[in-house]
Structure 1
Amino acid sequence: MDGILIVNKPAGPTSRDVVNRVQRCVKPAKVGHAGTLDPLATGVLVIGIGAGTRLVEYVQQMPKTYVGQFRLGISSDTEDITGCCITHDESPVVSRDDLRRVLPRFLGKISQKPPAYSALKVEGERAYDLARRGETVELAPREIVIRRLELTRFDYPDFELVIDCESGTYVRSLGRDIASALETHAVMTDLIRTSIGSFSLERAITMDSISRETITEHLLPLLAATEQLPQVLLTEESVRSLQQGKRIAAPPVDLCLDTTQTVEVAAIDSRDRLVAICELTHRDDGSALLKPHKVMPLGGD
């Protein structure tokens, strides 16, 4: 079994719990997920099954949309409501206009310091393991991209944001930084991931409904994981060559690609099946070469 499955993760279970539930239904196929959701969070969790686990990295690169809820005047070691919370009675009362005024500062490319309770590694150990042992965790700020930041509800001290962002964004840390810009504190009280790329809640199955039958019914083809990659259509002969791991001359492409760099493309056959992820390299004579990077099975999707 090879493909992509969209699950609506409920609050409580970890992302790994969802993977384990799927794994029990599809053994011996491998199972993995793209983009961890904390136990507090709900929503879209994209699961790779079989060869789909080799495409998780491409799903992780897709833009994400979240609906986050926050409470002002409170801080937490985890930056959400599940941690050790402290109420700051001296914090200023923030208005809807105050909040709207600072939001534009957080659009585009910004620097964000990840939370201590995160899966990032520090000298080989997960940051959250160090934090749970009471050790000081210092993570370097990273560049993230916020495409949209819309205030959809405000009822002090609570507010709600719709967030479109790129990979690597910590929504609870975004709430922390927005509050800091208002000289106060905030914790995240709820988080829903409504989409990753075109993978939306409307297409997801519930965790409780997971079975081999529902997985088979809702399994998406491998090609779905590569929607952000340019596509190259292959002849039957080229398909056979790539399946054997051979480099081939690329068919004519008009993809507005940078001809000075090697780029990744999704090579597909006449049935719209993903044959391989390939590196496309342009040569001095104007031709191009396809080198298979990840060859996919054609019988299972």
Structure 2
Amino acid sequence: MLGFLNINKPAGWTSRDVVNRVQRLVRPAKAGHAGTLDPLATGVLVVAVGRATRLIEYVQQKQKRYEASFLLGRRSPSEDIETEVSEIVEATIPTLTEINAALPRFVGSIEQRPPAYSAVHVAGRRAYDLAREGKEVSIAPRSVEVDRLDFTRYEYPELDLAIDCGSGTYVRSLGRDLAESLGTGAVMSRLVRTAIGEFTLNQSVAIDELTPERIEEELVPLAVAVSHLPQMMLSSEQVRELEFGRTIAVEGYRAGAEIAGINGRGDLVAVLTEKRAGILKVLRNFAPSV
């Protein structure tokens, strides 16, 4: 059991619920997810199985794609419909022209304040735990990358958006900030993650279809997790050196870069980085005998 599962998370399940289901099916192998989805959300949840858990951070680096729906003229503590929603009295009703004009301000590298109901750590605790206790939560804005933000449907109060973004972006907060720039508020009513890099919704598997046999059929190879890294084809001699955890000699790779070392069958052997000029060392080793 080694690789990644592309699971279509159902509404009402936490990401941990999904991992627990997979864990029971793959024991004694480990399982862990790459990129949390709130219970409200559905769509792509990548679950690493076995030693693939060592590559979760690389999956999280990939671009994410979402479809989201918002209700304008409303607010809630969680910025979605999971907590009590209140309507704004005499709320401003933005025009489609105003929405289109505002969208470009939230594309590129932007500063974003995560919602109080989030997994961000505040004073050693999760922000959502503090928020549920009624405590005031103050989270500093952080830089996030939004590559695309388009409206797909607008019929007040409902606004549907399509989003491509980097790791750490809160879609709820995008809707909140867009609405505030238009003089109103918004709560997220639906969220579907349609892709994380090469892991797409149309290739995902439903959680209730998983069996040990189906898991083995659905496992995605390790190399997909690091497809965004520079790739290096390894000779059989280099693979043997990596099996013993040794360094290998190469030329032409920049210092500090992480490199995916691939064998002749296209399998990931190791994630490598430069130890010194012309010498690569192992960061993550998946050589056969390791």
Q: Which amino acid aligns with 1:65?
A: R
Q: Which moved more, 1:57-66 or 1:273-282?
A: 273-282
User: What is the alpha-carbon distance in structure 1 between the residues aligned to residue 65 and residue 92 of structure 2?
Assistant: 30
Q: Which amino acid aligns with 1:296?
A: F
Q: Which amino acid aligns with 2:35?
A: G
Could you tell me which of 282, 287, 290 is aligned with 1:292?
282
Could you give the per-residue CA deviations for residues 160-208 of structure 1, whole angstroms, max 9, x where no partner exists? 0000111110000000000000110000000000000111011110011
After TM superposition, give the deviation of residue 214 of structure 1 in Å: 1.1
On the 8 A contact 2:8/2:204 being kept in 1, the answer is yes
Counterpart mapping for 1:56-71 below 5 A:
56-71=56-71
Q: What is the SS of the residue equivalent to 1:242?
A: helix
On the 8 A contact 1:116/1:139 being kept in 2, the answer is yes
After TM superposition, give the deviation of residue 281 of structure 1 in Å: 5.0
Q: Which amino acid aligns with 1:270?
A: G
On the 8 A contact 1:145/1:165 being kept in 2, the answer is yes
User: What is the alpha-carbon distance in structure 2 between the residues aligned to residue 161 and residue 182 of structure 1?
Assistant: 15
Counterpart mapping for 1:6-45 below 5 A:
6-45=6-45
Could you give the per-residue CA deviations for residues 116-138 of structure 1, whole angstroms, max 9, x where no partner exists? 11111112211111111111110
Query: 2:260 maps to what in 1?
Result: 266
User: What is the alpha-carbon distance in structure 2 between the residues aligned to residue 16 and residue 297 of structure 1?
Assistant: 30
User: What is the alpha-carbon distance in structure 2 between the residues aligned to residue 292 and residue 72 of structure 1?
Assistant: 50
On the 8 A contact 1:263/1:281 being kept in 2, the answer is no
User: What is the alpha-carbon distance in structure 2 between the residues aligned to residue 85 and residue 248 of structure 1?
Assistant: 59
After TM superposition, give the deviation of residue 220 of structure 1 in Å: 0.9
TM-score, L = length of structure 1: 0.94
1:142 matches 2:142: yes
Could you give the per-residue CA deviations for residues 26-74 of structure 1, whole angstroms, max 9, x where no partner exists? 0000000000000000000001000110000000000010000000010
After TM superposition, give the deviation of residue 140 of structure 1 in Å: 0.5
TM-score, L = length of structure 2: 0.97
User: What is the alpha-carbon distance in structure 2 between the residues aligned to residue 125 and residue 40 of structure 1?
Assistant: 22
Structure 2: which 5+ residue stretches go unaligned? none
User: What is the alpha-carbon distance in structure 2 between the residues aligned to residue 298 and residue 221 of structure 1?
Assistant: 14
Q: Which amino acid aligns with 1:84?
A: E
After TM superposition, give the deviation of residue 90 of structure 1 in Å: 2.0
1:185 matches 2:185: yes
Q: Which amino acid aligns with 1:94?
A: P
Counterpart mapping for 1:214-233 below 5 A:
214-233=214-233
Could you give the per-residue CA deviations for residues 252-298 of structure 1, whole angstroms, max 9, x where no partner exists? 55xxx6x3x31100111111111111113562xxxx21100111153
Q: CA RMSD in A?
A: 1.4
Query: 1:277 maps to what in 2?
Result: 271
On the 8 A contact 1:274/1:298 being kept in 2, the answer is no
User: What is the alpha-carbon distance in structure 2 between the residues aligned to residue 297 and residue 29 of structure 1?
Assistant: 18
On the 8 A contact 2:242/2:287 being kept in 1, the answer is no
Could you give the per-residue CA deviations for residues 132-168 of structure 1, whole angstroms, max 9, x where no partner exists? 1111110100001111111100000101000011111
Q: Which amino acid aligns with 2:17?
A: D
Counterpart mapping for 1:96-111 below 5 A:
96-111=96-111
Q: Which amino acid aligns with 1:18?
A: V
Query: 2:159 maps to what in 1?
Result: 159
